[in-house]
Amino acid sequence: MEVLDVQPARPARVRPAAHLADLDAPGRRDAVRALGQPAFRADQLSRHYFGRLTDSPEDMTDLPVAARRELTDALLPTLLTGVTEQACDRGLTRKTLWQAPDGSRVESVLMRYPDRVTICVSSQAGCGMGCPFCATGQSGLTRNLSTGEIVTQIFNGARTLARGEMAGGPGRISNVVFMGMGEPLANYNNVLAAIRRMTDPVPDGLGISQRSVTVSTVGLVPAIGKLAREGLSVRLAVSLHAPDDELRDELVPVNRRWQVAEVLDAAWGYADATGRRVSIEYALIRDVNDQPWRADLLARLLRGRLAHVNLIPLNPTPGSRWTASDPAVAAEFEARLADRGIPVTVRDTRGREIDGACGQLAAAADRIAAGRPARGGRPND
Ligand code: SAH
Ligand code: SF4
């Protein structure tokens, strides 16, 4: 592990600084005008940031020298500083721990495959949803990330790739998954603006396809409905983990507020509105949620729906009494779904090995983003 130079955390919490990536095109022009600069400088800055992936004033040779520093100081402040970086899989997977000036820390993971690069990003520092099997859930919510902080994770990943700093030579980000820290739909407005920034074409955004962005949610029903009405074509992943309310109340405490039937109804509403197949996340936990009858019940709930199941062997968190299902039990669970015509994927062992070093959630996330063919059903949409 390489430890990068980083400033000590400031004790007091401060609001994240305003950033170009927080703003839409009119907002960016207003911000530039407020600095006494002509509005077209906003487009020049955006071209540098979103298009050329630079935030250094020295690179902005089309801006007057006097204006460069002022514009970058005001609109392109450093929001996140790399603290540590871990690489595995011969450098094709890289996890970065970031720190904001207020001391909040989040992670993002870049994963490179022959045909694509996926970045797994955080939407919040911590998470308030309290799922007992999740490391992030144990520490509670610190705060929402700003739009700029979410986009910064992607910007940094895109720049690393563009500069050829990742094994495999220069490249581009093809997929984004909100499967790092936090519940994205609990930070709705900032996440939505970040989706717009990452998917708007250059120079207004990073030009990533909406279809290649996955929002993973614990099941916040009203927010799923709202997202369905945004006119986006991003993929939705729903973290179900149990087909029955009794167990889901325990594994996913927010189930006490929105139960399985309501969550799935919201998911089908999303599929209807967008035409996108919903991914149902199911972390297999030994002797907790991996019984054959639960596979059968899950199959009944999903039958005939635009859905596919993503089985994730549990990545045990320190101190937890839970562990991953026995491989034979996981295989049986998968087969029961597949036999009932439910498209299902399960991570391979190579993935598990990598996850041990690099963050289980990210690897699970990539399989969804990649849309790998599932057993038991149609090819992924
Ligand atoms: N809060 C969102 C997104 C972040 S978590 C959500 O819950 O969907 C991303 C995925 O990782 C979710 O499906 C989550 O349930 C799963 N996950 C969390 N901890 C895990 C663990 N220890 N092992 C396996 N999957 C886990
Ligand atoms: Fe939060 Fe998702 Fe972890 Fe649950 S699984 S605590 S919603 S990050």
**Does residue 285 line the site of ligand 2, with CB under 6 A?**
no
**Does residue 129 line the site of ligand 2, with CB under 6 A?**
yes
Whose CA is closest to atom 4 on ligand 2? Answer: 131
Q: Rounded to the nearest 5°, which phi and psi values hold at 63?
A: -100, 145
Catalytic residue among 58, 85, 107, 183: 107
What secondary structure letter does DSSP report for 21? G
Distance CA 337, CA 325 (A): 16
- Identify the pLDDT of residue 272: 98
Report the residue among 121, 129, 133, 177 best suited for mutation to probe ligand 2: largest number of ligand atoms under 8 A from its CB: 129
Domains (range + CATH), the chain: 20-75 (1.10.150.530), 218-350 (3.20.20.70)
Q: In this predicted model, what pLDDT tens digit does every residue of 275-324 receive, in sequence order?
A: 999 999 999 999 999 999 999 999 999 999 999 999 998 988 877 889 99
> Model's pTM, two decimal places?
0.92
Q: In this predicted model, what pLDDT tens digit does every residue of 337-372 receive, in sequence order?
A: 999 999 999 864 333 444 433 344 444 555 555 554
Q: Is the bond preceding 101 in cis, omega lying within 30 degrees of 0?
A: no
Q: In this predicted model, what pLDDT tens digit does every residue of 36-80 receive, in sequence order?
A: 999 999 999 999 999 999 999 999 999 999 899 999 999 999 999
| Residues present in the chain in total | 381
Cα 95 to middle of ligand 2, angstroms: 19
For the question of residue 358 being annotated catalytic, the response is: yes
Amino acid at 343: P
For the question of residue 107 being annotated catalytic, the response is: yes
